[in-house]
Each structure stands twice: as structure tokens, then as C-alpha cells.
Amino acid sequence: MQQIDFSDFKKVEMRVGRIIEVQDIPGSRKLLKLKVDFGEAGVKQAVAGLKGVYSPESLAGKQYVFVTNLKPKKLMGELAEVMILAAVSGDDIVLIKPERDIRNGAAVE
């Protein structure tokens, strides 16, 4: 495992956001489009390979942890502005979320 300096880690901005809308991406077998509320920072869009693992209904209205300072990227024609964090073991995907509700946009440190 490659080690990084603490200063490199501090460059990654992680915040709690609430998923307010989930849409299927036509033509994709795995991707879902997520609209995420980050409070004062506004609503951002994520594109995540969660189709078949999480239903849209199970995601909507819940808070999760996102990386919020990545350069935007297009996936299947959709703009990904933030990235949801997950633990992955083989085909098992578990999204990272706060243990209780907190203000949307709260920093993860």
C-alpha cells in the first residue's frame, strides 16, 4: 500500500450530502444519476455504479459521504461533480454514511 503525506490527504474535501433525486441513466447497466443537497454549497450531481446494488427508493432522502472537490467528469453523457464513498469487497458495495443525521454540507475530517 502506497503511503501519502498528511498534506496530500488534507487536499481531499469530503462532505455529507443528502440524496434528493435518483434517476436511471438510459443505456447504462450500472450507473445511476444522483442529485445531492450539500446545504449552503448547493445541489451537485453524482454518477455512481450502484444500479442493481441499491434501488433508487433506498437511496433517496438519505445522507452519505461524498468527495466534493474532484474535477467534474462526464460519464455516459452525464456530468459527475461529486463522488459517493463506498467500501467494496468483491461484488459487495456498502455506502459510507454518518451514524446519525447532520447538517447537509458538514465536513468530514
Q: Which domains does the chain have, with CATH numbers?
A: 6-101 (2.40.50.140)
Q: How many helices (H) and strands (E) does the chain have?
A: 2, 10
Quick one: average pLDDT of 21-45? 96
Q: How far apart are CA 109 and CA 32, in angstroms?
A: 27
pTM of this prediction? 0.94
Closest CA to 106 of 16, 11, 12: 16
Give the amino acid at 24. D
Q: How far apart are CA 109 and CA 101, in angstroms?
A: 16
pLDDT digits 0-9 by tens, 37-88: 999 999 999 999 999 999 999 999 999 999 999 999 999 999 999 999 999 9
